[in-house]
Amino acid sequence: MQWLAANHPELVGKYRRLYGQGSYASKEYRTWLSGRINYFKARHGFSGSSGFSHRNATAGKETPASLPPASFPTTASPRFSS
């Protein structure tokens, strides 16, 4: 946290909200992020469990209406509040 505060002080509050005093983000955030990743993997042909492959990708452009919600609730649990 000292390095982050010295080099990127604007990120300290966000980092504390996500990680608190631990090394991992909250379970809620990890679940949300996993859902976003799985959505885009499936959308672009990477839904198999064997990893990423450019052979399964399909061409196409994203439109804002086709994207899932991007925001994650910003209210931190009491454990993670600064």
Tell me, yes or no, whether 75 lies in a domain. no
Tell me, yes or no, whether 25 lies in a domain. yes
Tell me, yes or no, whether 21 lies in a domain. yes
| Residue length of the chain | 82
pLDDT in tens, 40-51: 999 998 876 655
In this predicted model, which residue has the larger pLDDT, 25 or 54?
Answer: 25
For the stretch 46-50, contacts whose Cβ atoms lie closer than 8 Å and that sit 24 or more positions apart, written own/partner, are: none
Tell me, yes or no, whether 60 lies in a domain. no
Tell me, yes or no, whether 34 lies in a domain. yes
pLDDT in tens, 7-44: 999 999 998 888 887 888 888 989 999 999 999 999 99
User: Rounded CA gap, 39 and 72, in Å?
Assistant: 15
Number of domains in the chain: 1
What pLDDT score does 76 carry?
47
User: Rounded CA gap, 32 and 9, in Å?
Assistant: 26
Tell me, yes or no, whether 59 lies in a domain. no
Instruction: Domain of residue 10: give its range.
Output: 1-44
Residues 68, 36: contact at Cβ < 8 Å?
A: yes
